Amino acid sequence: MDADSNSIKEKEPVNIGKIIEEELRRQERTVTWLSRKIHCDRRNVYDIFSRPCINTDLLYKLSLALNTDFFAYFSANLHQSNTNP
């Protein structure tokens, strides 16, 4: 095995905050609606939109609220990294 085979291949990072914001807009939902669904202040929702990463508990709550598997974006990126040389 050469030195490069043990290194992690960098792919375009998933900007999950932007993806969540786009999904909320796609569903024509409001920030206020989402803040109520995840029990937080609406200012926190705007903060989420600016985050490139989110803890898994919050991501799970957002996935449930928006009925969207946001974890799949990371899985797809992982699978791409493993299949592309």
Interval 66-83: pLDDT, tens: 999 999 988 887 777 666
Cβ atoms within 10 Å of 83's Cβ, excluding its own: 7
Given the structure tokens 């898994």, which residue do they identify?
Answer: 56
Do residues 20 and 70 touch, judged by C-beta distance below 8 A? yes
Q: Is the pLDDT of residue 59 over 70?
A: yes
Interval 25-49: pLDDT, tens: 999 999 999 999 999 999 999 999 9
Structural domains in the chain, CATH included, are: 14-79 (1.10.260.40)
Nearest to 66 by CA among 43, 33, 42: 33
Under 8 Å CB-to-CB from 2, ≥6 apart: which residues? none
